[in-house]
Structure formats: structure tokens, C-alpha cells
Amino acid sequence: MTDVLVVGGGGREHALVWKLRASPRVGRILCAPGNAGIAADAECLPVGADDVKGLADLAEREKIDLTVVGPEAPLTAGLVDELERRGLRAFGPNRAGAQLEASKAFTKDLLDEAGVRTAAYGTFDDADAAHAYLDRVGAPVVVKADGLAAGKGVTVAETLHDARAAVDSIMRDRVFGDAGARVVLEEKLPGEEASFIALTDGTSVLPLATSQDHKRIGEGDTGPNTGGMGAYSPAPVVTRELFDEVTTTVIEPVVATLRKRGIVFKGVLYAGLMIDRGRAGVLEFNVRFGDPECQPLLMRLRSDLLDVIDAVVDERLHEIELDWDPRPAACVVLAAPGYPGTPEKGATIRGLDEAATVADSYVFHAGTARSEDGAIVTSGGRVLGVTSLGDTIEHAVERAYEAAGKIDWPGMQLRRDIGRRAIARGA
Ligand code: AMP
Ligand code: GLY
């Protein structure tokens, strides 16, 4: 039996724990820090997801056979390097590989070297030079803080005035701290966004089923960006042709170029794409499963997740073929009032038991905690991810809304248009 530690405490980690629990080869599951829903399937321990030493100590003390890292922060902080140094197995890239998410300048350079389509760009560590470049290229232009900025470091500026203000707040006011020591300025690409998520063991590449998320808080893709308000799989925008093209012209060259630089990338490679007239350009990379894309993906995955992860860690991914439920899945995120700004916490969540009665559905927890009197209360921005399978995307979405409709707390936010684009395409 394999004892597993899952690092993180969001909806993605609940889905990972839920899916690992279904494996006959998994023994104990620990989760740090976890949440109130994860506690049903795993032993949750109060170690922060970015406490590298605390997590490595925990894995060592508990004789954990495999650590599965959910979020980017511990990967960027070198958790996998530390675990491997102690002779422990881990799923996720090392610190060098995690630069693909942690530094936009690193990624743009690597994409150039790999010959992958991406927006024209310049990288600057001096604000005056950045302004001079803006004078040359004009607007629209996209301004990106180089480092991790919790999804808030990107401004798509329609005017030079907005672009200049973004450069100044990143570089001079340092609103994202050291993440703003450098900026990337790039051409605005037209098109529709899609996520492309693949596994790699550093040599072989295995794309997952397609998926799509909804980044903006408001219906019709309006309002500020969030971590993701919903997701579905498959995503009809990624046609079979595009799927093959992205695999061979984006994912494979990136893995090979990393390897050429001495980086054996093991884990999840998630490309943020812009699709225009059937061709893909790369906007960004993440080095982990998307949240909430992970929830519908794992609900559709029939293969044993432990077998798949073991193959990545042991560098024999070429042996694996994934088995997917042909039915689509959709996830509707229920968020706290205030999100994506400062969320209100501590409200009692009603209706979880009723929601659990809806067929082919599961309520993944994200920002939830148990109060002293035993109630499940809100404790973060994104609170729950109601995820359902259906015969079509429309049917999956309908079921997710049926279950979501049974859940309530004061000020709960959700988007009513999850899957709209896919449904419009007749999926
Ligand atoms: P990123 O974190 O780089 O994916 O950027 C966040 C969001 O900004 C993306 O999901 C896109 O909506 C938008 N974005 C980033 N880069 C570009 C670009 N070059 N052209 C158009 N939109 C972009
Ligand atoms: N859903 C987008 C992300 O995980 O970054």
C-alpha cells in the first residue's frame, strides 16, 4: 500500500484526495492543510502549503511513500527538491522546472528557444526602458509582472496611459513586491482562451482530456479575473487537430527544451492558450493542475490516479494510456461575497446534504472549515466546486446547477453561464 501526502487545501486538492481514495493501492492519505471536505477522506494536518521544511518533516516522520503537490507556491519554493534530497518520492516539478510558472521572462525565453508560437515581447528590469518600449509599440499591449502575483499580475492595457500606470505600479510602487522587479511587455493576441493540461515525466508527454475554465467573476466574462469560477471537460474549442498540434508544437518542444537545459520536468504542464482561427499561441504556463479544471477532469478519469502518478515519478509514463468517461463533466464554483477581493468568512453553509443526493455529482470543498460547534463554514474566496457528469455538457451543467441550487449562505456568488460557449457550439 502507498501512503500519500497531498499538499494544499483547495478544490483541486479535494479532487486529488477523492480520486486517490478510490485507488485500491492507496493506504493512508494525509493532507496539509486540507479543508472540511477533504477531512472526510484524509487526515488533515495544520502545516501550511508553503512551509517546505514543515512539509518535508511531516512526510519523513509519517513515512509517506508519495507526496502529491497541488499548488504552485511549494513547487516554486523547492518542496520537491527538499523531499528528493531526503530520499522521498514526490509528484511535481522541482524548483528549476517550476520557473515556468514563477517567471514569465524565463518562460518567454524558453518558448523562443523551443520555437513555440507566443506573443512578441520584451523583458525589462528598468522602468524607464519599459516606458521607452511602450512608446515604440503603442497600445493595446499586455503588461505582466515577472513573478508570482496570485493571478493579478497581468494587465491587458487598451491605452498607453493604462499600460504606463501598470508598469509604474508593478516596478516603481512594487504592488506585487519582488515579483515586480521585472516586467514582460507583450503584444495582445486575439482569440478565445483554452487550457491545455498534460502530464510529463521529463521525456514522454501524455495530454489529459481537454478542459476550459471561466476566469472572470461576472457572467458573459465580465469583471475582474478570479482563480476560476467554473470549468468543463471536454472543451470543444480544442478540436482533435488542435489537440495534436498543441501536443507536438507546444508541449513536446517545451519538455525537450527544458531537458536540454538540464531540467527533467515531472508533473503537470498546463499551457494557457489563445486560439485564433484554429491556431494556438501560448499565453502562459502553469506547473500544476488547474483549479477548477482538475475537478471535472478527475471526475471523468477512470484510470487509477496512483498508477498514473507513479508512472510520472518513475519516468515510465510511456506505459500509460488514460481511460476517460466519455460523458462530459462541469464544475460550478460557489464563492464567498467579496471574492475576488477580500472574502467574507465564517458563514454557515446550508444544504450540503441535499446537494449530495443529486445523481453523478460531487461537491468538492475549497474554502471551508469546521466551526467549534461542528458546522461547515466558509473560510476562503472560492468555497465549493459543485461538479457533475451528464450525457452532454448542457446536461452536466444542468445537474451541477441543480445541486448548487440546494446550497446557500448569505451573499453566495456563482456564475449562471458555465459552459455557455461549449453549449453554443452544440456540445
Ligand atoms: P496570464 O497569467 O499570463 O495567463 O494572463 C492572465 C490573463 O491575461 C490571460 O488569461 C488572458 O486573459 C490575458 N492575457 C495574457 N496575455 C495575453 C496576451 N498576450 N494577449 C491577450 N490576452 C492576454
Ligand atoms: N483555473 C486557472 C488556474 O488554475 O490557474
Mutate to test the pocket of ligand 1, among 141, 154, 158 (most ligand atoms within 8 A of CB): 154
Provide the CA 200 distance to its chain's centre, in angstroms: 16
Of 40, 74, 94, the one marking the end of a domain is 94
Q: Same structural domain for residues 299 and 342? A: no
User: What distance in angstroms lies between residue 323's CA and the mean position of ligand 1's atoms?
Assistant: 32
Cα–Cα distance, 359 to 289 (Å, whole number)? 26
Q: What DSSP assignment string belongs to 230-267?
A: EEEES-TTS-HHHHHHHIIIIIHHHHHHHHHTT----E
Strand 267-276 to 230-233 pairing:
unpaired
**Measured at the alpha carbon of residue 144, what is the angle toward residues 278 and 179, in degrees to the nearest 5?**
135
Specify the pTM: 0.95
Is 110 inside any structural domain? Answer: no
- For residue 71, tell me if it sits in a domain: yes
The CA 290 to ligand 2 mean position distance, Å, reads 4
Q: Is residue 364 part of a domain?
A: yes
Is 111 within the bounds of a domain?
no
Question: pLDDT class for 351, splitting at 50, 70, 90?
Answer: very high
- Nearest ligand to the CA of 103 is 1
The total number of structural domains that make up the chain: 4
Burial class (CB in 10 A: 0-12, 13-18, 19+), 31: buried
Residues 275 and 215 reside in one and the same domain: yes
Strand 26-33 and strand 43-44: the pairing is parallel
* Domain containing residue 380: CATH number: 3.90.600.10
- Does residue 360 line the site of ligand 2, with CB under 6 A? no
Q: For residues 199 and 298, state if they share a domain.
A: yes
Q: Residues 81, 32: one domain?
A: yes
d(CA 402, CA 381): 22
For 226-249, the pLDDT digits (tens) are: 889 999 999 998 999 999 999 999
Q: Is the domain of 286 the same as that of 405? A: no
CB of 228 within 6 A of ligand 2: the answer is: yes
Residues 236 and 135 both lie in one domain: no
Residue type, position 279, single letter: R
Distance from Cα 244 to the centre of ligand 1, integer Å: 23
Contact at 8 Å (CB) between 176 and 155?
no
Residue 277 confidence (pLDDT): 86
Determine the 3-state secondary structure of 66 from DSSP.
Answer: strand
At a CB cut-off of 8 Å and minimum separation 6, what does 374 contact?
A: none
pLDDT digits (tens, 9 = 90+) for 245-304: 999 999 999 999 999 999 999 999 999 999 988 889 999 999 999 999 999 999 999 999
- Domain identity same for 214 and 176: no
Task: List the residue whose alpha carbon is closest to atom 3 of ligand 2.
Answer: 290
Same domain flag for 303 and 345: no
Residue 284 lies in a domain: yes
Protein residue with least CA distance to atom 5, ligand 2: 290
Residue 106 lies in a domain: no
- Same-domain status, 374 and 405: yes
Identify whether residues 58 and 83 lie together within a single domain.
yes
Query: Which domain range does residue 156 map to?
Result: 126-181
Rounded (10°) CA dihedral 386, 390, 396, 402:
-70
Question: Looking at residue 77, which CATH number applies to its domain?
Answer: 3.40.50.20
